Amino acid sequence: MEKHGPETYGELNADVYDEWHAIDPAEAVRFLAELVKEGPAGPVLELAVGTGRVTIPLAAEGIDLHGVDASEAMVARLRAKPGGERIPVTIGDMADVAPETDEQFAMVFVVFSTFFFLMTQDEQVRCFENVAKRLVPGGRFVLECPMPDVARYDRNQRVEAHDVGLGHVRLTAVRHDPVEQRFEGHHMLITNDGMRLAPAFMRYAWPSELDLMARLAGLASVGRWGGWRGEAFRGEGNYVTVYEKPATPAS
Ligand SMILES: C[S@@+](CC[C@H](N)C(=O)[O-])C[C@H]1O[C@@H](n2cnc3c(N)ncnc32)[C@H](O)[C@@H]1O
């Protein structure tokens, strides 16, 4: 697979995703479940639902969850998990939101760094516009994004060792394009038997750029926090932003 498309990440990472990214979803689930309870009625959609790390436990709270993802391989893993088979998932590009349904959602969310998997500013703007169209009045769009940390890069590249053992090393090697705001890199597992590559390409945006995309889509800002526990945002690490579709469109 030489050409990068919406399905590339999932197709090349599905078999190692849950093991390499075993991040506890409990705090995200608590935050999202509270937000759903205080918002309008209706189903909830996760963009880029993947293997269901967040959506499966959120559905277990009694919330009507739907998903969209570009990768059949990731979704097959979700469907194989207890509770995963009950989640309706559309295979498609999250920039189009959920093209095979015309459902309106009380909340749409995208977690981890996944919104940045939309590789151009145009695709990110299109995603905001499509989310806004598919939210009920008063519905929320929730994004968890990493604050870009470009100071980590020396001459726009970085190699980092995540895990080192007697028989293996797990590394990331990333190049940074500051003009297109892209990181293009690989996770690598090297063992005596060989090497396993898992690519992750993303186009990052600054918080102010997300706010502008929201404004262009007619969404109002509700708040921004430094994490799922509602911590103050200090301009670093993963942060959570909530936008809302006004009950009455701005004139
Ligand atoms: C880092 S995983 C996140 C999965 C899950 N949301 C989680 O938090 O564990 C990224 C997911 O985004 C999906 N993806 C990447 N680009 C996409 C796109 N343009 N449209 C839909 N899904 C996409 C991949 O297939 C993969 O499942």
Pocket of ligand 1 (CB under 6 A): 6, 9-10, 48-50, 53-54, 68-71, 74, 93-95, 111-112, 114, 117-118
Write the pLDDT tens digit of every residue in 179-188.
999 999 999 9
Which pLDDT does position 22 carry in this prediction?
85
Asked whether 21 and 89 are in contact (CB, 8 A), the reply is: no
Res. 99: pLDDT tops 70: no
- Segment 77-101 mean pLDDT: 90
Ligand 1 midpoint to CA 185 (Å): 16
The β-bridge relationship of strands 194-203 and 182-191 is antiparallel
Question: 189-196 long-range contacts, Cβ below 8 Å, gap at least 24?
Answer: 189/16, 191/167, 192/167, 196/16
DSSP lists the bridge partners of residue 67 as 46, 89
SS3 221: strand
> Which residue from 1, 3, 4, 9 has its CB within 8 A of the most atoms of ligand 1, so it is best to mutate?
9
Which pLDDT does position 249 carry in this prediction?
61
Write the pLDDT tens digit of every residue in 161-181.
999 999 999 999 999 999 999
Q: According to DSSP H, which parts of the chain are helical? A: 8-20, 26-38, 55-59, 72-79, 121-134, 207-216
Which pLDDT does position 251 carry in this prediction?
56
Question: What are the C-alpha distances in Å from 141 to residues 128, 144, 166, 169, 209?
Answer: 9, 10, 45, 38, 15
Q: Closest Cα to residue 142, out of 56, 18, 251, 38?
A: 38
Ligand 1 midpoint to CA 167 (Å): 30
Backbone angle region of 220, left / alpha / beta, with phi > 0 → left and psi within -120 to 50 → alpha: beta
pLDDT grade for 128, boundaries at 50, 70 and 90: very high
Which pLDDT does position 2 carry in this prediction?
66
Domains of the chain with CATH codes? 8-148+206-244 (3.40.50.150), 150-202 (2.20.25.570)
DSSP lists the bridge partners of residue 194 as 191
Q: Give residues with Cβ within 8 angstroms of 44, minimum separation 6.
A: 32, 36, 58, 63, 64, 65, 66, 105, 106, 107, 108, 109
